[in-house]
Amino acid sequence: MINLEIPKKFKPLASQANQVATEVFRPISRKYDEAEHAYPKELDMLASLIDGMNEGSDMGGAGAAGVRREESDGDAENRNGSNLSTVLGIIELCWGDVGLLLSMPRQGLGNSAIASVATAEQLERYGGKWAAMAITEPEAGSDSASIRTTAELDGDEYVLNGEKIFVTSGDRADLIVVWATLDRSKGRAAIKSFIVERDNPGLTLDRLEHKLGIRASDTANFTLQDCRVPVEALLGDPDVNVEKGFAGAMQTFDNTRPLVAAMAVGLTRAALEETRTRLAEAGVELDYDVPALSQHAAAARFLEMESDYEAAWLLTLHAAWMADNGKPNSLQASMAKAKAGRTCVDVTLGCVELCGSVGYGENTLLEKWARDAKILDIFEGTQQIQLLIVARQLLGKSSSELR
């Protein structure tokens, strides 16, 4: 039986992460929102500190982003492992600033992808490097199975050709995890991920995007033209198993979607806490012993948003716990991502509305959080895609049967 209280052994980690968010992220949050594409140099020292924490702990430091599905024999007691600890750390850090978390060296979504599917040898080879993840293409967004970037085997190398857009931290990272197909005629099963060094001559940076939110994080567009990588750069199993289909690639999402949900949960909590303070200053009292509709309209709205936040928090912890205990969590990962992403957008906009001119101006971070929130409902699979995945799982339908 899952226990959704924070495990005692993870409370120091959560406290460390909250301290980082309070002392480092919050003070420079507005600075790097306004200075888009400027690298937050303050994070270099922080990254070194986190590396030291990781070396001295078996559960990672405050910024650990690597996750891996834990093996379970089915009879063991509940396990609280790296997935849950990472989720708890991310919640606290994104209470500080989502864009700055995504700007931290060696804490990218590409690192999580490597940790999810890489072999032991690959984990050793790429350890300590910062990895971005390149999935989206001009004609393949949420439907990752439509990827057109190709990877052709030529001797002891793969040759990659295609275009990748909206690559978070793509310009700053050391490595790019590129998703490409070995054989388009074999559909989803042929899609694999490859490690590409950022300085590979076949990888060209086209431009950096100007964005609505998470402006501290760089978002790059790349062209791959005859980009050669060694065969060892293919993550996981190189065989194309049509019967297995897209399952191998989806393992990455099963582990990373709860992380994005955690980002949304942390940002949502930040907005609620700020709004609670503003409502109290305005004389609006919250009473948890009285029906919401019997209270001030602002209090009723706040309590509604807070209940959505609690649901998103529980779903996120549940999805991470399942991964730690070796349980299939595709359904729960998509449910967590869908609920947390939508809740984050609804709550941050609702908080801006409740706080009026205070929420809309730049004297607080509420308007920034409202802008940052939208990407958390989009990347790693949009709201609509998550609901489609949930529907397929609940109804027992394949992707061809329910589109």
- For residue 279, the domain's CATH number is 1.20.140.10
Please report which confidence band the pLDDT of residue 1 belongs to, taking 50, 70 and 90 as the band edges. Answer: very low
Average pLDDT over residues 342-369: 96
The domain boundary, picked from 233, 259, 287, lies at 233
Total domain count, the chain: 3
3-state SS class at 56: coil
The domain boundary, picked from 183, 209, 233, lies at 233
Q: Closest Cα to residue 159, out of 52, 233, 98?
A: 233
Task: With a cut of 80, say whether residue 61 has pLDDT above it.
Answer: no
| One domain for residues 14 and 142 | no
Task: With a cut of 60, say whether residue 213 has pLDDT above it.
Answer: yes
pLDDT at 336: 98
| One domain for residues 279 and 384 | yes
| One domain for residues 120 and 144 | no
Average pLDDT over residues 159-187: 94
Average pLDDT over residues 61-82: 60
Question: Is residue 238 assigned to a domain?
Answer: no
Other CB atoms within a 10 A radius of the CB of residue 346 amount to: 17
Question: Is residue 191 assigned to a domain?
Answer: yes
pLDDT at 252: 74
Task: With a cut of 80, say whether residue 242 has pLDDT above it.
Answer: no
Contacts of 329 (CB under 8 A, 6+ apart): 254, 258, 319, 322, 323
Q: Is 112 exposed, middle or buried (0-12, 13-18, 19+ CB in 10 A)?
A: buried
Question: Is residue 110 assigned to a domain?
Answer: yes
Mean pLDDT, the chain, as a whole number?
A: 89
| One domain for residues 57 and 174 | no
Query: Where is pLDDT greater, at 41 or 140?
Result: 41
Please identify every residue annotated as catalytic.
380
Task: With a cut of 60, say whether residue 243 has pLDDT above it.
Answer: no
Span of 32-46, 111-125, 214-228, 296-310 with lowest mean pLDDT: 111-125
3-state SS class at 168: strand
Q: Round to whole Å and give the CA distance between 314 and 329.
A: 14
The domain boundary, picked from 126, 160, 194, lies at 126
Question: Is residue 76 assigned to a domain?
Answer: yes
Give me the CATH number covering residue 165: 2.40.110.10
Question: Domain range holding 356?
Answer: 247-395
Average pLDDT over residues 313-329: 92
Q: Of all residues in the chain, what percent carry a pLDDT higher than 70?
A: 89
Average pLDDT over residues 172-197: 92
pLDDT at 229: 98
Structure token digits, residue 209: 């995007």
| One domain for residues 297 and 386 | yes
pLDDT at 223: 98
| One domain for residues 192 and 79 | no
pLDDT at 56: 45
Question: Is residue 242 assigned to a domain?
Answer: no
